[in-house]
Amino acid sequence: MLATISHNGNSYNIDFSRPLDISISLRGDNKNPMAWYLKHPEITPVQDGNFIGKVSEGSSVNFNNIWFNPHAHATHTECVGHISNNFHSIQQHLKTFFFKAKLISVEPEKKGNDLVITRKMIENIMGKVNFEALIIRSLPNYIGKISKYHSNSNWPYIEEEAAAFLREKGIKHLLTDQPSVDKEKDGGELLAHKAFWDYPKNTRFDATITELIYVPNKIEDGDYFLSLQPASFENDAAPCKPVLYKIL
């Protein structure tokens, strides 16, 4: 379905019949991505006496319990409640769901034992800022990301200066294919989270971070519109299915 939308005084043509899904599906086995030292999610039928919630076991319906952690197991969107003393829910703070976005691919820079995405790297690639959301695809990019065991991997992270730069440029929504924008083991400093949300000085309650996405190589760098709709959880984070739409 072709549609013309208006955004900040400009008109854009979009084909809504060609969505580009950049989420990772949640599975109930060890092929699911895992981080933060947790085991894989579980999706199991309810059992109550002789009742088993599975059609193949004689039930009239499939009726599953699901155990998972949004930060460790799934593409998820989080608000500042992830790091704040007071409770803040993604459900209450994200009120609009469609944004002009730019996708960039970056190869993190080696710094000691770390791989770091720097301010200079982002600044050189992303060009003029006329969008609200930035999607960062880390290189090398490979299909194994959809089932990677991230714990104790010291994944690539975004440096504090880069996160602050994105905040200063007005980027409200930051998406990454890593389990966190911060270093895996940083002693609880969470420098990139705090810089992006400007916490606790001038906290940007309407800004979000989305982690554990996967952007297939067939999706080219450039400008898109992003549909960002977390599930309705009263929690600091919720599973999310970010979808891109190419601008025609």
Average confidence (pLDDT) per 10 residues, the chain, 248 residues: 86 95 96 97 97 96 98 97 98 96 98 98 94 98 97 98 98 98 98 98 97 98 97 98 97
Residue-level pLDDT at 2: 86
- At position 137, the amino acid (one-letter code) is R
DSSP conformation class of 143: G
2-23+71-246 topology per CATH: Glucose Oxidase; domain 1 (3.50.30)
Residue-level pLDDT at 1: 81
CA distances (Å), origin 216, targets 12, 103, 199: 24, 12, 32
Cα dihedral: 169, 87, 188, 182 (round 10): -40
pTM over 0.85: yes
Tokens of 11: 């008109």
Q: How far apart are CA 139 and CA 108, in angstroms?
A: 7
Residue-level pLDDT at 204: 98
Cα dihedral: 239, 197, 128, 135 (round 10): -20
The neighbouring-strand residues paired with 176 are 136
Q: How far apart are CA 129 and CA 236, in angstroms?
A: 28
Tokens of 126: 């992303």
Phi, psi at 216, each rounded to 5°: -55, 150
Residue-level pLDDT at 207: 98
- Report yes or no: 37 and 151 within 8 Å, Cβ to Cβ: yes
Q: How far apart are CA 215 and CA 105, in angstroms?
A: 10
